[in-house]
Amino acid sequence: MKSPQFPLLTTLVLAAFFSFSWAILPHENFLQCLSLHSNDSSSISKVIFTRKNSSYDSVLDSTLWNLRFNTTNTPKPLVIVKPTQISQIQATIHCSRKHGLQTRTRSGGHDYEGLSFTAKVPFVIIDLSNFRTVDVDVENRVAWVQAGATLGEIYYRIAEKNNSLAFPSAVFHTIGIGGHISGGGIGLLLRKYGTAGDNVVDAQFIDVNGRVIDRKSMGEDLFWAIRGGGGGSFGIVLAWKLSLVSIPANVTVCSVTRVREQNGTELVHQWQYIAHNLPDEVYSTVLVSGVNSTQPGTKTVLAIFNSLFLGTIDEFLPLMEQRFPELGLTRQNCTEMSYIRAIMVNNGMPNQPLEILLNGTSRVPIVSPSYKAKSDYVKEPISISGLNGLFSRLTDDAAAMATLILIPYGGIMDRIPENATPFPHRAGNLYKIFYDVGWLETDNINTQKYLDWARNAYSYMTPFVSKSPREAYINFRDLDIGTNNIGHTSYAKASIWGNKYFKDNFRKLAQVKTMVDPQNFFKHEQSIPLL
């Protein structure tokens, strides 16, 4: 049993001590407030879960993907509100403010540091999983999607209407669109169409006063801030209006693998000069991990070169033969398929029915149970010995489930100004490194070993990556780079992590924050501070 009942004896002893006044817990006042401020108290009670409700654990677990945060020591919410109506969200904001409780908004629950569902202070979760309508308008090439919808649902609903339309965002289908666009959002169409936030044209939003506003009524500064400034700082996004992009009915998906002994490191070294210069229609990524070698008891490093081309195999092969002959890409390494199938392949589910994308509770098979992530930006190619120093760490025991993903930049990313949205990582980046170390839930007791591995690899990389600031991607949230104080955080202290995520956009984010949430109600370990 996960949350053992308080032993009866202890309760009696405590009751004897405090019998003069059975203290009212803060969340009881909060619950009373909710029922008072609801126009329909019977319906709000159906969306409130406390530890006393038998379904509390299953509601909490429903999108608790990173099992690093499924331990008995992980702080849990006093209350989970799973609204079905906007008025219930408004009541939750009002009553949390009144009774001094923090709220954490959860859409898809993928925050790498668990900030949408755990906190070190008493808190309430607003879980948006009932807000998941996806409304695709193919004639106008737009879609209104509610924040709790998953990327899988959105991709499925677009493709079922027109296989030649898509939305540029991440690969893994269980990610929530609410948090994803809040942090920018990058995926296979990055070099052709930019970030998810670059492709949003309107939003429905609730501010700290419970006002429901859209792009026009919120104004361009707040609309700018919510498309990449990070979730949980400004208010609650209820829905996004997405601008859909054109893709061919079939795309080309290719994969080539090389171990270290097949010049894998040399090929990665060359890739650094090539990938960011390829036409916008090519997304060429590399996944690097440690694997058992053919000699028993020894390990090697495997580099998987995956590419997605918005065109045919016949067009792609000569292009790669000209630009990257050393890769030795052949027709056998490539397949033409619809973009939605390419998404399935990249989720590690090549042969499953597409309908699995509608099942928000089905884990992506290639994601490890517990994990920790970090990110870096590379502006100058790294030497072969520099790469070897990183890759050799992948054969450590702690890295058995670690992967490095090299994400190519260039293309349209070089042409969108750094201040177009809060996402500042544009021209001048060759690629991004995504460090992911995973482990089994049953090994959570050794979490420190895996965190140390990631931190040591990151420390080793210091001379090879961006400097002043050492840039990082907010959607790969990493509390190691700095956090706010639980009480008041100064702008200067927050700039330590803020400049890494946002560079010169950080100041404008703080200005918008000061304007829309002057009492800093929406806050967490890395929320935008007041100026």
Ligand X SMILES: Cc1cc2nc3c(=O)[nH]c(=O)nc-3n(C[C@H](O)[C@H](O)[C@H](O)COP(=O)(O)OP(=O)(O)OC[C@H]3O[C@@H](n4cnc5c(N)ncnc54)[C@H](O)[C@@H]3O)c2cc1C
Within 58-117, which residues bind ligand NAG (CB under 6 A)? 61, 64, 67, 70, 85, 87
Check residue 406 for interaction with ligand NAG (CB under 6 A): no
Alpha carbon dihedral 204, 88, 360, 283, in 10-degree steps, equals 20
Three-state secondary structure call for residue 274 = helix
**Which residues, 6+ apart, have CB-to-CB distance to 401 below 8 Å?**
368, 437, 438, 439, 440
Q: Hey, which residues between 225 and 254 contact ligand X (CB under 6 A)? A: 231-232, 236-237
Supply the minimum distance, in Å, between the C-beta of residue 401 and ligand X. 12
Q: Given candidates 29, 74, 130, 164, which one binds ligand NAG under the rule CB under 6 A? A: 164
Apex CA 54: angle with CA 50 and CA 55, to 5°?
80
- Kind of pairing between the strands at 79-81 and 123-127: parallel
For ligand NAG, give the closer residue by CB, 45 or 485. 45
Q: Residue 442 binds which entry of ligand NAG, ligand X, none, with Cβ cut-offs from 5 to 8 Å by kind?
A: none
Residue 138, contacted partner among ligand X, ligand NAG, none, CB below 5-8 A by kind: ligand NAG
Closer by beta carbon to ligand X, 210 or else 232: 232
The nearer residue to ligand X, 114 or 260, going by C-beta atoms, is: 114
H/E run at residue 373: strand 370-378
Return the H-helix or E-strand segment holding 362.
none
139 CB-near residues (< 8 Å, 6+ apart): none
Q: How far is CA 118 from CA 64, 166, 485, in A?
A: 10, 33, 16
Cα–Cα distance between 72 and 56 in angstroms, integer? 15
Q: Which residue has the tokens 């989720």?
A: 347
Nearer to ligand X by Cβ, of 68 and 276: the residue is: 68
Q: Which of 68, 82, 99, 104 contacts ligand X by CB under 6 A?
A: 104
Shortest gap between Cβ of 425 and ligand NAG (angstroms)? Answer: 28
Restricted to residues 345-374, the positions that interact with ligand NAG (CB under 6 A) are 359, 361-362
- Residue identified by tokens 């800093």 is 520
Q: Check if the beta carbon of residue 418 is closer than 8 Å to that of residue 505.
A: yes
Residues at the contact surface with ligand X, assessed by CB under 6 A: 65, 104-112, 115-116, 128, 147, 170-172, 175-176, 178-180, 182-183, 185-187, 231-232, 236-237, 367, 475, 524
Q: Which parts of this chain interact with ligand NAG (CB under 6 A)?
A: 2, 39-40, 45-46, 48-49, 52-53, 61, 64, 67, 70, 85, 87, 138, 162, 164-165, 246, 249-250, 255-257, 262-263, 292, 297, 330, 332-333, 336-337, 359, 361-362
